[in-house]
Structure 1
């Protein structure tokens, strides 16, 4: 039954890629509202995160952001139909890459792309892979059929180097030194290992120090990559490389990264991945929030 349902779901996704984006987005809006009401446990996670990060806002505002987040998340999920099966020409119309000149350094210095968890990050991965071979680290999905499709979708252009988390950072470091830009998503809660507690919207948050560590070891530039969903597709912006990075310490560098992501979240709060348990790991002695 799992196989049959998976094939049916993938078949429906395949059909979506023939439709205009406005139709798919209408389906995503309906699906997002349905999920908002149908999955109370996930809604509680979103609302808990929003209460922690925006205590100064009223509950009505937070509920509005939560509903818009579910809609944006559902739309981005259905948009994968285009990422997996649409032509390069159509994808180039749907996904605009700004700041392409920051993707590689003229002198050959390695590049780490800092990609916060906005719901458009898969669009960012697609347009970057169309521009150049890159490194990305992924976690396998439990459903083998969807896992295979996700993998095939990510391998469509320029043969990116996909590594599992089990491969470790040595493989990433080697590829960085060989000239592959690294598409890095460092703002999930991976536990206390290799993490420091730095403020995120004023909340002590376990944040991995990998960006700073890799930049120090590889002498790489750090180029922020921000993905924004728009009505007619996605705008992906590569910002200029950070100056004076890495800095004086791993903790200072990680605090700087966290503050940067916080500022970007303020520009489009509904598009950040609030459905993730970002504050699951707490400082010693502090109670859990979920």
Structure 2
């Protein structure tokens, strides 16, 4: 059995439990967690799927908030498809999201063996062929609903990751999510702390966990094709690959809503990357996201403001919000 790892790094994000989390401010969160426990533990997988599907069909009609974000993203990325077809994608997306939310506490509530038994990993050899030789690896992981599952699973198998994390506004949930992420080892770093701790961790043998599709509103972003639109994409992965001399291995961390299993797809390391140019690096990254999502669009977090930065300076999300408010 894999031994418990202790990968404490003083430079990492290491939130601790606080007595303040027992204050009335967090009672609603505690009640939500207590109510979720019997659903997670006792409700059959099929029933969770049906419930998530029912909720999804209700939510898809509400073109506000994050649902509106998803509608706008799908319209921009798939303009050739009918509104009915895009709605079908969104219903499947929200169903997968809901079913996953009813399952993900089990990663903490159950054992290491439970997680490994309920996960299917396809292509693990694309990672171990490098790690077995002591070669550094950075995983290229798009924003799927089960984005943390692959990192936790790999850590449970003795391959801990180094990742970036963003603090949640709800500090109790932030602490709980962090404890889940590092329960079998690994470290999370805040972006505000800079890139150096992440680089050091990768050089020490941690799997780098890089999320390539966030719109960081960074001036160094390149505008490159993403499905049928263009997207501001950070090309920094190429620089990270050079500095750490890492192989870049794409990973899709997925969840099968109908079976309740985590499905991790590992692709061969990127050949010819970095390309030697920031624009071509960014384009290659988006192409691989499109490839990984082929036939699996429901896995992706279409609710994010993926297209917040536009070449013409517009904010399509704010514009749509104002239009519906008028």
| Shorter-chain TM band | over 0.9
- Contact 1:14-1:85 at 8 Å conserved across structures: no
Which residue of structure 1 lines up, in the alignment, with residue 37 of structure 2? 14
Given the alignment of the two structures, is residue 279 of structure 1 paired with residue 307 of structure 2, yes or no? yes
2:321 is matched with which residue? none
CA deviation profile, 1:103-125 (whole Å, cap 9, x unmatched): 24133221000001122222222
Please identify runs of 4+ aligned residues in structure 1 that moved more than 4 A.
none
Alignment partner of 2:298 out of 270, 275, 278: 270
| Aligned residue in 1 for 2:176 | 149
The offset of 1:261, in angstroms, is 0.7
Give matches, 1:98-113, under 5 Å: 98-104=122-128, 105=130, 106-113=132-139
Q: Which structure 2 segments of 5+ residues have no match?
A: 1-23, 318-326
CA distance in 1, matches of 2:195, 2:45: 38
Match of 1:49 in 2: 73
Tell whether the 8 Å contact from 2:142 to 2:289 is kept in structure 1 after alignment: yes
Whole-Å separation in 1 of the counterparts to 2:149 and 2:55: 20
Shift of 1:166: 1.6
- For 1:222-233, what aligned pairs fall within 5 Å after superposition? 222-230=248-256, 231-232=258-259, 233=261
Please give the TM-score of this superposition, normalised by the length of structure 2.
0.83
Gaps (5+ residues) in structure 1? Answer: none
2:113 is matched with which residue: 89, 92, 100? Answer: 89
Pick the structure with greater CA Rg.
Answer: 2
Check conservation: 1:103, 1:181, Cα contact below 8 A.
no
Aligned residues: 288
Is residue 253 of structure 1 aligned with residue 281 of structure 2? yes
- Within the alignment, does 1:128 sit opposite 2:151 as a pair? no
Q: Give the C-alpha shift of residue 34 in structure 1.
A: 4.0
| 8 Å CA contact retained: 2:53, 2:91 | no
Say whether the 8 Å CA contact 2:149–2:262 is kept in structure 1. Answer: yes
Aligned to 2:201: 175
- For residues 32-47 of structure 1, the aligned pairs below 5 Å read 32-37=56-61, 40-47=64-71
Aligned equivalents of 1:154, 1:39: Cα separation in 2: 32
C-alpha displacement of 1:94: 1.7
Q: TM-score by structure 1 length?
A: 0.92
**Deviation for aligned residue 1:60:** 0.7
SS in 2 for 1:267: coil
- Could you give the per-residue CA deviations for residues 152-199 of structure 1, whole angstroms, max 9, x where no partner exists? 111221x21111122221111111111111111121111133321111
* CA distance 1:77–1:194, shift in 2 (3 Å): farther
- Number of the residue aligned with 1:162: 188
